[in-house]
């Protein structure tokens, strides 16, 4: 009898282990398989996908995989989701311009959007409401001179304020990050709320430091980057702490923007529209029925947040990288200064609309800087709203798409020896500046940054103003890196100091 019991026990164990094995193999098959005609790519590990292999610079890893094995349009496994990564200029134009009506959605759990949901513009889903909001914003910003002479005058005035402030710092180590934050945030603030802040305003400096921590906290940045790519991670303790700090900081910024809106409500006059907030409030009060439904205070607050964060952070980061590159390549700095002296002189206000066409090397230097040091390596995630064809593959509805801007900017087919900094890439044989469709720091298609024209004006005017008035040198004993930095949603330089001398 004992042998019969042992035999039955063995049969039971065999059946159990067979069932476990069948289930395991079935789950592995389900995890491993791709949708039909889906782009190729690495699968990584069960449950985690490729997450353990991404390191500090996922955009660079994606491009390496793309070049070595999988092609310009590839897929990766992130947890249980199949994600498409687009890596070249041609595939960008096909995905986000030709097929932009299908690829411009936003997933519901974006990291920045988790505080305000489907409000604002940057993280709003692609819909009739998004298109109407963007159209209204562009029309309104145009009224305030966006990309035109009127806006340029405001930027020039702020550039003069920066120059006056920097004169008080001549000969002393200057940490440009906070100064540039104040500079760029003042331009946004003038448009949105009609006010600017002094460079020594302690309360405003605290706000700007908070924005810096949202995008560039050295301790949290690697964790937040992974949370952005793999949102489920925010529930794990080590990532949850970083994500909770992000949410708290974001709410503080929203409190600041809300206070501006409340002040405007108290002083609003229908016949005295002063700025963007007033224009929005007027639409809320006196617009048609659709406007009253879509134009809410919460929507305005999220829009102000979007402009304040993006307008302060990304533009100042681009200028910081440009200043670092000027320090590392003094021969190029000399050539930029020669153009400034020849075209503008020591006292005239720099104008992007008047002077940039006469300064090919300066424009080439700026464009190469934005290619070489991409401030947003992976743009905000796109969400496929309809099944479509891309590069011969079938991309199902609901698929996440990562726009790898870093990959476009470092594609050897477009840029031979892409790791070399070379402004002459953007100068033609006649010495003219050559604008490139493969330098796309502001993205392309329906999700193109609405502040692109403003950012380009600011970068040109602020850079020229600094070099027009000052010599820029590294602080003694400091060799700031142009290859390393803090990489999260934005790739920014490590903190550094520069020394200024009046010219």
Express each pLDDT in 273-309 by its tens digit.
Answer: 999 999 999 998 887 766 667 789 999 999 999 998 8
Q: What is the pLDDT of residue 2?
A: 58
Residue 421: exposure state from Cβ atoms within 10 A (0-12, 13-18, ≥19): middle
Q: Are 50 and 76 a contacting pair, CB within 8 Å?
A: yes
Q: What are the C-alpha distances in Å from 119 to residues 100, 298, 346, 399, 481?
A: 20, 8, 45, 22, 37
Nearest to residue 45, comparing CAs of 230, 189, 208, 191?
230
Q: What is the pLDDT of residue 267?
A: 95
DSSP for 427-438, written as a single string: B-TTS-B---TT
Q: What sections of 348-402 are H helices per DSSP? A: 352-355, 360-372
Q: What is the pLDDT of residue 446?
A: 95
Q: What is the pLDDT of residue 374?
A: 96
Q: What are the C-alpha distances in Å from 238 to residues 199, 232, 241, 251?
A: 36, 12, 6, 21
Q: What is the pLDDT of residue 294?
A: 79
Residue 34's SS3 state is coil
Q: Which two tokens stand for residue 467?
A: 């070099």
Sign of the alpha-carbon torsion through 104, 110, 116, 118: positive
Q: Which two tokens stand for residue 71?
A: 């092609």
Q: What is the pLDDT of residue 63?
A: 98
Could you give phi then psi for residue 223, rounded to 5 degrees?
A: -70, -45
Helix crossing, 237-267 with 221-229: angle to 10°? Answer: 90
Sheet holding 73-78, edge to edge: 73-78, 81-86, 400-403, 382-383
Sign of the alpha-carbon torsion through 141, 299, 211, 452: negative
Q: How many CA atoms lie within 13 A of 392 on its CB side?
A: 6
Q: What parts of the chain have a pLDDT lower than 70?
A: 1-32, 146-149, 289-292
Percent of the chain with pLDDT over 90: 62
Nearest to residue 406, comparing CAs of 7, 96, 86?
86
Separation CA 59–CA 63 (nearest Å): 6
Taking residue 16's Cβ as centre, other Cβ atoms within 10 Å add up to 10
Separation CA 311–CA 192 (nearest Å): 11
Residue 142: exposure state from Cβ atoms within 10 A (0-12, 13-18, ≥19): middle
- At 152-185, the pLDDT tens digits run 888 999 999 999 999 999 999 988 888 888 899 9
Residue 375's SS3 state is coil
Q: What is the DSSP letter of 71?
A: -
**Residues, the chain:** 503
Q: Which residues have CB under 8 Å from 118's CB, separation 6+?
A: 106, 108, 124, 125
Report the predicted TM-score, pTM, of the whole model to 2 decimal places.
Answer: 0.91
Q: What is the pLDDT of residue 495?
A: 85
Question: Which long-range contacts link 418-423 to residues 24+ away (Cβ below 8 Å)?
Answer: 421/325, 421/328, 421/329, 421/368, 421/369, 421/372, 421/482, 422/368, 423/332, 423/361, 423/364, 423/365, 423/367, 423/368
Q: Pairing relation of β-strands 81-86 and 400-403?
A: parallel
Q: Could you tell me which CATH class the domain 36-502 is placed in?
A: mainly alpha
Q: What is the pLDDT of residue 39?
A: 97
């Amino acid at each position: 009898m004992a042998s019969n019991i042992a035999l039955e026990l063995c049969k039971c164990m065999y059946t159990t282990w067979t069932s476990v094995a069948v289930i395991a193999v079935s789950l592995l098959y389900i995890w491993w398989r791709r949708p039909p005609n889906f782009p190729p790519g690495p699968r990584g590990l069960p449950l985690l996908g490729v997450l353990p292999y991404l390191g500090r610079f996922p955009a660079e890893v994606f491009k390496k995989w793309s070049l070595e094995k999988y092609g310009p349009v590839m897929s990766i496994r992130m947890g249980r989701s199949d994600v498409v990564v687009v890596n070249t200029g041609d595939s960008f134009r096909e995905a986000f311009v030709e097929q932009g009506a299908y690829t411009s959605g936003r997933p519901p759990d974006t990291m920045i959007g988790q505080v305000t949901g489907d409000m604002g513009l940057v993280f709003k889903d692609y819909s009739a409401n998004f298109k109407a909001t963007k159209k209204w914003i562009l029309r309104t910003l145009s009224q305030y001179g966006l990309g035109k002479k009127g806006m340029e005058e405001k930027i020039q005035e702020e550039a003069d304020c920066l120059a006056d402030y920097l004169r008080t710092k001549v000969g002393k180590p200057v940490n440009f990050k906070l100064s540039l934050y104040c500079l760029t945030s003042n331009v946004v603030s003038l448009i949105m709320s009609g006010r600017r802040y002094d460079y020594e305003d302690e309360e405003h400096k605290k706000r700007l430091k908070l924005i810096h921590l949202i995008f560039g906290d050295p301790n949290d940045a690697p964790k937040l980057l992974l949370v952005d790519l793999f949102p489920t991670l925010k529930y794990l303790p080590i990532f949850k702490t970083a994500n909770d700090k992000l949410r708290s900081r974001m709410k503080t910024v929203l409190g600041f923007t809300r206070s501006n809106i409340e002040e405007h409500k108290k002083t609003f006059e229908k016949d005295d529209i002063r700025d963007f907030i007033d224009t929005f409030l007027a639409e809320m009060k006196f617009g048609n029925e659709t406007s009253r439904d879509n134009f809410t205070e919460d929507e305005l607050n999220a829009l102000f947040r979007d402009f304040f964060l993006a307008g302060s952070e990304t533009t100042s980061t681009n200028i910081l990288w440009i200043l670092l590159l000027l320090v590392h390549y003094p021969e190029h700095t000399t050539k930029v200064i020669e153009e400034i002296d020849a075209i503008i002189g020591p006292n005239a206000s720099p104008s992007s609309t008047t002077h940039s066409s006469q300064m090919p090397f300066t424009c080439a230097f700026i464009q190469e800087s934005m290619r070489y040091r991409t401030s947003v390596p992976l743009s905000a995630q796109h969400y496929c709203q309809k099944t479509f064809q891309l590069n011969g593959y079938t991309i199902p509805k609901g698929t996440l798409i990562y726009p790898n801007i870093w990959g476009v900017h470092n594609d050897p087919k477009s840029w031979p020896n892409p790791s070399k900094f070379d402004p002459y890439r953007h100068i033609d044989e006649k010495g003219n500046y050559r604008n490139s469709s493969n330098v796309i720091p502001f993205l392309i298609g329906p999700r193109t940054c609405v502040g692109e024209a403003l950012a380009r004006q600011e970068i040109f005017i602020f850079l020229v103003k600094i070099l027009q008035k000052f010599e820029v040198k590294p602080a003694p004993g400091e060799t700031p890196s142009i290859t390393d930095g803090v990489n999260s949603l934005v790739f920014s330089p490590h903190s550094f100091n520069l020394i200024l001398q009046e010219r």
